[in-house]
Structure 1
């Protein structure tokens, strides 16, 4: 069956997203056996930003504050995240990775990058750079 570029893109994105979710579950479990993939994304964001207010994380991920609160409580119980007072607002808190969280997230991210490099070992650097640019452009559009 001949399909147009729109249908092909939809199909390929669906496959990519399914595979990405499976990989995220696997990577999350490498950080902690009880960690959910959605909570792993919070850890990565905290690693990227250094710290964040819970409300900023909820806005970034497009989730409700109660959902975020449950995930943060789990991350705290697992010893991966710590709360600190926000120096600019005494009523607010900031979240940071604990030393254990930092160590485990860095190890998981490194393993994920190595896995990706292995899968793309036959790709040219130009192809990888082009893909990164196009995915970045897609993310900005979404």
Structure 2
């Protein structure tokens, strides 16, 4: 094993912790703008619904790493606020597909827009190649990271 590996892993862990802390703060800000009564941890749920369109609860649960019970409770709250709708799955009438309502999309996009502008300002000095590499590495990390629960 490379002698530098333990120190490099500690550095990655440190930087990842800083990124997650900042990401959580950004997520909370976006969620509060969408609706003041939303739980802060619904940002990831709203983001995946926005990106995915209509998706089954079970697929969303796996993707987000959240239990179906917790996710169902969050979805009910979003439905009550008129931000999410549940429709029968055309492929399996026992299942439902979840998606953002037009109002949910409008509110999420408006709130997220200011955060994207902040990100653009933070990364203004980066080259397109560096941004592409950063995005590639983050995607690679997210696709392969399987934390123990």
Q: Secondary structure at the match of 2:124?
A: coil
Contact 1:39 1:75 in 2 (8 A): no
User: CA-atom RMSD, angstroms?
Assistant: 1.4
TM-score by length of 1: 0.91
Contact 1:53 1:95 in 2 (8 A): yes
Contact 2:84 2:101 in 1 (8 A): yes
Instruction: Name stretches of at least 5 consecutive residues in structure 1 with no aligned partner.
Output: none
Instruction: Name stretches of at least 5 consecutive residues in structure 2 with no aligned partner.
Output: 1-5
Query: Which of 24, 29, 35 lines up with 1:21 in the alignment?
Result: 24
Cα offset, 1:116, TM superposition = 0.3
CA distance in 2, matches of 1:4, 1:83: 47
Q: Deviations over 1:19-38 (max 9, x none)?
A: 11111111111111111232
TM-score by length of 2: 0.87
Cα offset, 1:72, TM superposition = 0.3
For 1:7, the equivalent position in structure 2 comes to 10
Q: Secondary structure at the match of 2:93?
A: strand
Q: Deviations over 1:38-66 (max 9, x none)?
A: 22211111111111111111111111111
More off after superposition, 41-50 vs 104-113: 104-113
For 1:123, the equivalent position in structure 2 comes to 126
